[in-house]
Amino acid sequence: MDTARRHRNLESALESVGLKDGRYPFQAPNRPLPNRIEPERQQAFVALEGVSKHFPGVVALDGVSLNLNPGEVHVLLGENGAGKSTLISLLSGMQQPDQGRLVIDGVPQRLSSPRDALQRGVGTVYQHTTLVPGLSIVDNLILGAAWWSRPKRLDVRARVSAMCDRMGMDLPFDATLSSLSLGQRQLVGIIKALWRSNRLLILDEPTSMLGSDEIDQLYKAVVRLRDVGTAILFITHKLDEAIRFGDRISVLKAGRLAGQLAPVELKSLERPILIERIISLMFDTTASPSFSTPSARPATLRGPIVLRVQDIRAAASPDEPRLEGITFSLSAGEILGIAGVEGNGQKQLAEVLAGQRRFLAGSIELEGTPIHSLGVRARQKLGLRYLSDDRLGEGSLPNFPIELNLLLKRIGEPPFWRCGWQRASAIEAHARALIDHYQIRAGGPRSRLSQLSGGNIQKLLLARELDGAPKVVIYNKPTYGLDLQSIRNARSAILAQAERGVAGLLISTDLEELLELSDRIAVMYRGRLVGILEGPGLSRRRLGELMVGREHAQ
Amino acid sequence: MSSPGPAEDTRFSSIGRGLLQALFPLLLALLTAALLLELLDRDPISFYADVLSRGLFSPLGLEATISRCAPLLLLAASLIVAFRAGLWNLGVDGQFLLAAISAAALGPPLAARIPTGMTLLICMLAGMLVAALWSAVPALLKARQGTNEIITTLMMNFLGVSLANALIKLVLRDPSTTVPQTLTLATDDRLPRLFGSTIHLGVVIGLLCVIAVHVIMTRTAFGLKLRVLGESRRVARHAGLPVERLTLLAFGLSAGLAGLAGAVEVLGVAGNVRTDWNPAYGLLVIPLVFLARFHGITVIFFIFFFAILSIGGETAARKSDLPNYFVLVFVALTLLFMPLTELLGRRLPSLRSRPV
C-alpha cells in the first residue's frame, strides 16, 4: 500500500508538470505486484474517441472522448437529455456512432450488437432491471442461454457463490427474485451483467430506487469490483453520489463533455470546493458559442401585469415533490425564467397553470380574471398557452396529419368546423399558412407528423401555441434536445413574441438559455420558488447554488 | 391489439388498400384450411364449392347470408366507435343479449296494443337504452378510475348472459312452451321484408349505421375528438378535451349500437329469445373489425364474406361430416396470418405500400 501511495504522489507531481495519463518517462524498478491495479498506469479498456451521434434535428452526442480504465469508477454526471442514454447504447452495442470510434484494448472496434458487446466484456445494468421476478437468482442467470448449452445449476451456484464471496455479497441463491429487496435485486443485476462480461460494468442510475442502506451495500460491491480491476462506468445525475463513488468524474452537457475531474483532484480537494467545481462544470458554459451576458437582451418595457399567481399548492406524486406557496406575477412582454434541476416541480407548476393538473389551493388570475377554476380549453381560449416539454407523448399525435396536429387544441371551432362538420379546405389553408410562416419543412399539410424532424416538430408546436392572440405562453423546455439551428429558431420565436407584448414563462434546465431570454429568473427547488433574481443579483454561480439547494442547507 | 392503423385515412383509395392488405391473410388462410381438409381426408375443392353454392349462389342461401349481415354490421359499427376511441369494449355480446331480451319482452305485448311501426321503434330504442345502461358500469369505472375496460366489459358479458337466462326463466317465460323462451313476436309484426324476400329491414339499418359511424368518425369534430382520445388520453387531456365525458359517450354509443343489433336480430329473425341462446356474434366481428383496420366501409366487405362463410360453411361442414366449428378454425387462421403478413410487409420494404 505504501508503494501505491508513493506512486500516487509521483503521479500527481507528474501531472502538475503536464505529464498525464500514464505516459511515464520512467518506471519504478522491481515494484511488487500491487493488490490494487493502478488505473493510470495502464491502457484504457474502452476509449471513446470523438464520438458523435445525431438524430434528425437533434444532437444526442457531439464529439465525446472518454477513457474507461480498468480498476477505476468513472462517474458520468449529467442532466436528463444530456446524452447519457445515448452513450450507454453506444457502449452496449445497441447503436453505432455516426462519427468517431470505439477503441477496445487499443484496437478500434465496432460493437454491432448487445451480444457483441457482452462478448467483448461490456456488461450493462439498466436502470430498470431486466430480471424475471418469479424466478430464483440461479434461474435468472441461466435464462439467457439456449437449453442445450445451458450450464448445470450446481455449477452456476458454485460460480455465483464464488463471485458473491469475492464481492462481499450475501444473497439467497434459491429465493425467488420477488422476495428480495430492491437493493439485492440491483446486486443480482450486477452479477448477471458480470456473468459473461467482467471487464467493463456500466451502471445506469443504479441508486434511483435504493434506500441508503442499500446504497451502502452497492458501494461496497462497486469498490470490490474496482479493486479487482474492473472498469466501471457509473451514471448518475446526483452530485453527492458522483463524489462518493467516483474515482474520476466526467460531466456531460447537451451532448458534449463539459469537463472532467481527475482522480488526483478528487482525492486532494475539499468537498465544498469539489462541489463548487462540479456545479461550475454543469452550469457554466464559457465555451458556448451563444455565450451572452445576463443583460444581452434589450430590457422590455414592463407592461401591465397579465398573470398573477398566488400561493399555489399541489400534492406530491411518486416522483415529483409537492408544490408549496408558489407566488409570482408576469407583466406583458416580460419573460420570467424558471430555473431548477429537473424534477423540482417545474412540470407540475406548468400543468397547474395550464389547467391540466388539480391543485389544492391558490389563485391564478389572467388579466384580472380568476381562471383557476376553468378547464384547459377555456384558459387556452382566453390566451393562456402551454408548450409541453413532452412533444411526442403529450403535445402531438405522431400518426395524425400535420394539419390536424396544428388544430389539436381547437377541435370543433369555426371556421375549421361548421356545425361539427370538418371543413377540409379551411383546415388545409390554415396548415399551409403556418407551415409557410414558421418555415416548417414538411411534405405537406396532410403528411404525418412522425415524418418531421425533431426541430420541425418543435416549430409546429410553437406555431400552434403562438397562433391567434396568446397573452401568456408557458414554454416548458422549448429547446430541449434540439440541434443548434432549431434552438436558435425556437429562441428567436420566443423573443419575437415578447416584443409583441406576450408574457412568457420559460421553464428550462439550461442556464444559458434562461440568461439569454429572461428578464428575471426564479429558481425552483423541491417544489418551492427559492428566489427570483434580476439585475445585478443575477449570476450563474448564484443560480447554480440556488438550484442545488445550497442556500437552504445553510 | 396493435395500433389502429392509419388514423387519418378518409379517402376512398384507402378502402382498396385496406382490402388488399387483408386479402393476403385470407388467401393464406384459405390455403392452410385446404391443407387441413386434405389432412382430414376431405376434398377441399368440393368443400369450398359447397360454401359458395350455398352461401352465395343459391337464392335462399344468399338471402340467409344477407340477413346474417344485419347484426354483424351493427356490431361492427359498435366496435368501430369504441376501438377508434381507444376503448376496448369486449362486452358487446352481453349488451347484445340484454337488448335482445328487452325487445323480446316488449315486442309481443306492445304489438297487441299499438301499430307495428311504433312497436318496432320502441323495441329498438329500448334495446339500445338497456345496452347503454348495462355498459355504464365499465364506462364509469374507466372514466373515473381508469379501470381497464377489457377486463370489466368481459366480466359484464358473463353477468349479462346469466342475467338474460335468469330473466327468461323467472320473469319472461312463455307459459305455453316446454322449452323456456319468451313470448314470440308474430311474423306480421316483425321488421318488414324487402322485395318479397326473407331479407329484413335490419340489413338496411345496419348498412346505414356502419356508414354513418364511418362518416362521423372521419368527418366530424366529435369523431376527431374520439380519435384523439383513442390515440392518446394524455394528448387528449393536454388538448383540453373532456376526457371523462367523451369516454362515457363513446361507451354509450358503442353499447347502444350493439343493443340495436340484438333488438334487430329478435325483431327481424328470431321473434323470441330462448334460454342459452347466445350467438356470440360480437366475438366473431372483433377480428373482422381488426382485419378492416377500423375502417367502416372496408368492414362491410369482410362481413359479407364472413356471412357467406358462416351460412355456406354450416351446410358444407354438414355435407363433409365436419363439426360446425370448422368455420371458426378458418377465421382463427385468418387472424393468425394477419400480424404475420404485417410483419412480412415491414421486413420487405419493397412490398410496403407507401401512404400518399
A514-554 pLDDT, tens digit each: 988 999 999 998 899 998 888 777 887 788 888 877 654 33
Return the closest-CA partner of residue B291 out of B45, B49, B63, B28.
B28
Q: Give the model confidence (pLDDT) of B256-292 as tens digits.
A: 999 999 999 999 988 889 988 888 899 889 988 988 8
CA distances from A168 to A49, A161, A188, A223 (A): 35, 10, 13, 10
CA distances from A378 to A370, A409, A437, B239, B240 (A): 12, 11, 26, 11, 8
Among B219, B235, B356, select the one facing A397 at the smallest CB separation.
B235
User: B162 — contact with chain A (CB < 8 Å)?
Assistant: no
Is pLDDT above 80 for B249? yes
Cβ neighbours around B43 below 10 Å, total: 13
pLDDT in the model for residue A297: 53
Which range of residues forms the domain containing residue B53? 13-345
Q: What is the CA radius of gyration of chain A?
A: 27
CA distances from A288 to A285, A339, A494 (A): 5, 19, 20
- The cell numbers describing A374, all together, are 376553468
Residues 6+ apart with CB under 8 A from A399: A448, A449, A450, B3, B6, B7, B8, B231
d(CA A259, CA B83): 52
For residues A25 and A19, the answer to whether their CB atoms sit within 8 Å is: yes
User: B220 — contact with chain A (CB < 8 Å)?
Assistant: yes
Burial of residue B132, with CB atoms counted within 10 A of its CB: 0-12 exposed, 13-18 middle, 19 or more buried: buried
Q: Which of B3, B237, B238 to mutate to test the interface with A (most CBs of A within 10 A)?
A: B238
pLDDT in the model for residue B349: 47
Q: Would you list the DSSP string of B284-326? A: HHHHHHHHTTT-TTHHHHHHHHHHHHHHHHHHHHHHTT--TTH
Q: Is A186 helix (H, G, I), strand (E, B) or coil?
A: helix
Q: Is B239 close to A411, i.e. CB distance below 8 A?
A: yes
CA distances from A134 to A130, A176, B160 (A): 12, 6, 36
Return the closest-CA partner of residue A156 out of A185, A196, A123, A198.
A196
Residues of A in contact with B221 (CB under 8 A): 411-412, 417, 420-422
Q: Is B231 close to A421, i.e. CB distance below 8 A?
A: no
Return the closest-CA partner of residue B267 out of B114, B112, B102.
B102
Instruction: Tell me the sheet residues that pair with B220.
Output: A421
Residue A9: which pLDDT band, with cuts at 50, 70 and 90? very low
Query: Domain A41-283, what fold?
Result: Rossmann fold (3.40.50)
Q: Please state the φ and ψ torsions of residue A31, each to the nearest 5 degrees.
A: -70, 135
For residues A431 and A451, the answer to whether their CB atoms sit within 8 Å is: no
| Mean pLDDT, chain A, whole residue set | 81
Which residue pairs from A171-179 have beta carbons closer than 8 angstroms and sit at least 24 positions apart in sequence? A171/A137, A172/A137, A173/A136, A173/A137, A173/A138, A174/A136, A174/A137, A174/A138, A175/A136, A175/A137, A176/A133, A176/A134, A176/A135, A176/A136, A177/A131, A177/A132, A177/A133, A177/A134, A177/A135, A177/A136, A177/A137, A177/A140, A178/A133, A178/A134
Q: Is A386 close to B238, i.e. CB distance below 8 A?
A: yes
pLDDT in the model for residue B242: 94
Residues of B in contact with A401 (CB under 8 A): 8
Strands laid side by side in the A361-366 sheet: A323-331, A305-314, A361-366, A369-370
pLDDT in the model for residue A128: 67
Q: Which of B14, B215, B224 to mutate to test the interface with A (most CBs of A within 10 A)?
A: B224
Return the closest-CA partner of residue A376 out of A339, A414, A402, A350.
A350
Q: Is the ipTM reported for this complex over the cut 0.95? A: no
d(CA A305, CA A471): 11
Q: Is B7 close to A399, i.e. CB distance below 8 A?
A: yes
Cβ neighbours around A542 below 10 Å, total: 15
Q: Is residue B223 a part of any domain in this protein?
A: yes
Domain count, chain B: 1
Residues of A in contact with B244 (CB under 8 A): none
Supply the CATH number for residue B230's domain: 1.10.3470
User: B174 — contact with chain A (CB < 8 Å)?
Assistant: no
- The cell numbers describing A530, all together, are 427559492
Q: Is residue B355 a part of any domain in this protein?
A: no
d(CA A529, CA A549): 11
Nearest residue in chain A measured CA to CA from B5 = A399
Grid look-up 418551492 returns: A528
Residue B156: which pLDDT band, with cuts at 50, 70 and 90? very high
d(CA A537, CA B198): 88
Q: Is B231 close to A417, i.e. CB distance below 8 A?
A: no
Q: What is the largest CA-CA distance in chain A?
A: 91
pLDDT in the model for residue B195: 81
Residue type, A514: L
Is pLDDT above 60 for A6? no
State the average pLDDT over residues A431-435: 94
Q: Give the model confidence (pLDDT) of A206-249 as tens digits.
A: 876 676 777 888 888 888 888 888 899 998 877 778 888 899 99
- The cell numbers describing B103, all together, are 325487445
Q: Which of A384, A391, A400, A446 to mutate to test the interface with B (most CBs of B within 10 A)?
A: A400
Among B7, B8, B224, select the one facing A411 at the smallest CB separation.
B224
Residue type, B304: F
The distance of B246 to chain A (nearest Cα, Å) reads 13
Given this chain, do its domains A41-283 and A290-383+469-554 carry the same CATH topology? Answer: yes
- Length of chain B (residues): 356
Q: Is residue B312 a part of any domain in this protein?
A: yes
Where exactly are the structural domains of chain A?
1-35, 41-283, 290-383+469-554, 397-468
DSSP code at position A298: P
Q: Give the model confidence (pLDDT) of B171-200 as tens digits.
A: 888 888 888 898 888 888 888 888 878 889
For residues A474 and A349, the answer to whether their CB atoms sit within 8 Å is: no
Nearest residue in chain A measured CA to CA from B8 = A400
Q: Give the model confidence (pLDDT) of A359-375 as tens digits.
A: 999 999 999 999 999 99
For residues A506 and A389, the answer to whether their CB atoms sit within 8 Å is: no
Greater model confidence, A351 or A135: A351
Q: Is residue B353 a part of any domain in this protein?
A: no
Q: Give the model confidence (pLDDT) of B302-351 as tens digits.
A: 899 888 888 888 888 888 888 878 877 887 887 788 778 777 766 654 44
Q: Is residue B7 a part of any domain in this protein?
A: no
Is pLDDT above 70 for A66? yes
Return the closest-CA partner of residue B6 out of B283, B217, B212, B209.
B217
Q: Could you give the residue ranges of the DSSP H alpha helices within chain B?
A: 13-39, 44-52, 59-84, 92-111, 116-134, 136-140, 149-170, 202-219, 221-231, 233-238, 243-265, 281-291, 298-319, 326-347
Is pLDDT above 70 for B166? yes
d(CA A25, CA A14): 10
Cis amide bond preceding B59, omega within 30: no
- The cell numbers describing B1, all together, are 391489439
Return the closest-CA partner of residue A168 out of A124, A205, A208, A219.
A219
Residues of A in contact with B231 (CB under 8 A): 397, 399-400
Q: Give the model confidence (pLDDT) of A27-45 as tens digits.
A: 333 434 344 444 445 678 8
For residues B52 and B30, the answer to whether their CB atoms sit within 8 Å is: no
- CATH code of the region A290-383+469-554: 3.40.50.300
Q: Is A422 close to B220, i.e. CB distance below 8 A?
A: yes
Residue A58: which pLDDT band, with cuts at 50, 70 and 90? low
User: B215 — contact with chain A (CB < 8 Å)?
Assistant: no
d(CA B238, CA A357): 10
Q: Give the model confidence (pLDDT) of A321-349 as tens digits.
A: 899 999 999 999 999 999 987 778 899 99
Q: Give the model confidence (pLDDT) of B24-81 as tens digits.
A: 888 888 899 889 888 988 888 888 888 898 888 888 899 999 999 999 999 999 999 9
Q: Is B231 close to A394, i.e. CB distance below 8 A?
A: no
